[in-house]
Amino acid sequence: MKTSIIIPVYNEKDTIEEIVGRVLKVNLDKEIIIVDDKPTDGTSDILRKKFSNAANVTLVFLEKNRGKGFAIRTGLSYVKGDVVIIQDADLEYDPNDYVLLVAPINEHKTSVVYGSRFMHLNTLKYIWSWFTSKLKGKACNIGHIYFSNFLGIQFLNLLIFMLYGKRITDEATCYKVFKADVIKKINLKCERFEFCPEVTAKVYKAGYDIREVPISYYPRTTEHGKKLSWKDGLVAIAILIKYRFID
């Protein structure tokens, strides 16, 4: 199967060349669709200079900044492959995990796969380690910098179980993989980071199961460009509730 990798890009001049290079090296039959969401830091110039003539790379430049969700929706209209992977433009996620991510779909075991950062993490052990580390005045280094983000994701996972009756360990993961015909049938309306809760809700409502596989994760800080905030968490809660009851 041919794999289409959609990379929404906004203000990632320090990482965009590296991440696209890593994706190009992955041993898959693939195409790369980069959607430039009108960055202001010179990312667009790097894309034009480095990848305008690259084989199997499609560059899409939006006329104005619209957000990650809109960029993904735009990228989907260019997809020619059988499988779609969402890839962030930073270096938090490792494209070498693609082979594991697409395997359940290629083997016809499922139509949707999420790469989970928490699948093999003992949640109670992690919380206890964080608590005891704080008491000792030490950092809790288990691969997830912001403990508040970890708790927020766990709450979203619980909310999904309460609303949709499905167990999931990492609703907010970047690595979401779909059979192309499945994701193209989902009526997405997202503009920004609400892509994650919206697509999860609508995939479940459409009757598909989500298979998770463990992935690598190298978190960055807000000082290094991480864009999510607590407000996005509130939006995610609202979106999960909203699409439980409406289409």
Quote the Cα angle for 123-127-128, to 5°.
115
CATH of the domain at 53: 3.90.550.10
Q: Please give the share of the chain, as a percent, with pLDDT higher than 70.
A: 85
Amino acid identity of 210? Answer: I
The residue behind tokens 């619209």 is 66
Between CA 43 and CA 8 the distance in angstroms is 12
Say what the pTM is: 0.90
Structurally, how many domains does the chain consist of? 1
Rounded to the nearest integer, the mean pLDDT of the chain is: 90
pLDDT digits (tens, 9 = 90+) for 135-160: 666 665 555 556 778 888 999 999 99
| Domain region containing 173 | 3-245
The token pair that represents 7 in the structure block: 């990379």
Q: Which candidate, 100, 99, 89, 80, places its Cα nearest to that of 34?
A: 89
Lowest-confidence segment of 68-82, 149-163, 217-231 by average pLDDT: 217-231
pLDDT digits (tens, 9 = 90+) for 176-199: 999 999 999 999 999 999 999 999
